[in-house]
Amino acid sequence: MSEAQELLAAIRADCRRPWTLMEVCGGQTHALLRHGLNRLLPDRIRLIHGPGCPVCVTASERLDQAIALASQPDVILCSYGDMLRVPGSAGRDLLQVRARGGAVRVVYAPLDVLAIARDNPGRRVVFLAVGFETTAPATALLARRALAEGRTNLELLICHVRVPPVLDQLLGAGEQQVQAVLAAGHVCTVMGEAEYGPLVARHRRPIVITGFSTAELLRGIHACIQQLEAGEHRLENAYPGAARPAGNTSGQALLRQVFEIVDTPWRGLGVIRAGGFRLRPPFDRLATPAPGPPAPASHATPPCPAGLVLQGRLRPRQCPHFGRACTPDTPLGAPMVSSEGACAAYHRYGG
């Protein structure tokens, strides 16, 4: 019997009551559906998919700013591939801007942007920097290198966000029925465990740091079930090979040097207190200037209920547009675009 089969048998034996678990990370959502674990787990276990997709939670106003910048003839807009297909508030995306002649480039690492800025000294090179605490250190390294070079044509549009604050808000919501959390192991690899213990104490729910393979996910689920059945709530690390209690202290020091923590808008969730980063002095001279006054807010109902999906309050297949008007080829919103989006996972693997 394989380790996965043994863990599934242990989960079935130990799970005697209905429980609702949330996996925070979009990568974990895709892994759960790709391996069919959602079908193999006992019916008493309900999985809710959280907001752990950095492309999905990037605020539409930040994306609108990026689209406006990319439309300017003197700007080269750089970002990761998934960001190019996320619709802004007017339905346009960066891929459409590029098709109309805008200079939009896909990069695979932030330091690629520095090379583009060196090769194009007469152009403004703007990096749309997205991601959680896992990718923020690489952006911080880019900022430090650009400042050391005295690079004046490189700008950073910072959209990095932090996981613990949004988890705090979700667990504190009265309508949220999550009873245990599978925390993203890669975030904890960087940031360690320090911010999760207080969440366990405040919300009295188990939080288990979990990896991404079949066995790692099942170990995390089993640890949650064991705590719930015993009436316990504590922080537990089921990913000890990669996530250490202190995390990556060098990466954390780099974040503290370059960024400061601020309240930040998340797509569909509103402003999250302490939910993101911005550049601190002297690195703030690299920050893309804020746009002018925002356009008047539209009161029309948006076609994509991304906020409900990101909070786990709506399953992708419950959306009337899923698989019809909204597909990976014609996405109405970020959860269908991103390689970590819940809607993309359900469309590809079922669920």
What gap in Å lies between CA 67 and CA 87, rounded to an integer? Answer: 10
Task: Confirm if 256 and 235 have CB atoms less than 8 A apart.
Answer: no
Rounded (5°) CA angle 6-218-2: 30
- Encode the chain (351 residues) as per-residue pLDDT tens digits: 799 999 999 999 999 999 999 999 999 999 999 999 999 999 999 999 988 888 899 998 999 999 999 999 999 999 999 899 998 888 889 999 999 999 999 999 999 999 999 999 999 999 999 999 999 999 999 999 999 999 999 999 999 999 999 999 999 986 568 999 999 999 999 999 999 999 999 999 999 999 999 999 999 999 999 999 999 999 999 999 999 999 999 999 999 999 999 999 998 889 999 999 999 999 999 999 877 544 444 444 567 898 888 888 888 999 999 999 999 888 888 899 888 899 999 999 886
Q: What is the CA radius of gyration of the chain?
A: 21
pLDDT digits (tens, 9 = 90+) for 233-258: 999 999 999 999 999 999 999 999 99
Put residue 301 in one of left, alpha, beta given phi > 0 → left and psi -120 to 50 → alpha.
Answer: beta
What gap in Å lies between CA 267 and CA 270, rounded to an integer? Answer: 7
CATH 3.40.50.11740 fits 59-160+248-286, yes or no: yes
Segment holding 68, helix H or strand E: helix 60-70
What gap in Å lies between CA 269 and CA 64, rounded to an integer? Answer: 17
What gap in Å lies between CA 267 and CA 52, rounded to an integer? Answer: 12
- Please choose, from the candidates 56, 64, 32, 57, the residue with its C-alpha nearest in 3D space to the C-alpha of residue 46: 32
Give domain 3-55+163-237's CATH superfamily: HypD, alpha/beta domain 1 (3.40.50.11750)
What gap in Å lies between CA 126 and CA 11, rounded to an integer? Answer: 48
Task: Confirm if 279 and 258 have CB atoms less than 8 A apart.
Answer: yes
Domain chopping of the chain, boundaries: 3-55+163-237, 59-160+248-286
Burial of residue 39 (number of CB atoms within 10 Å: 0-12, 13-18, 19+): exposed
Domains 3-55+163-237 and 59-160+248-286 share a fold: yes
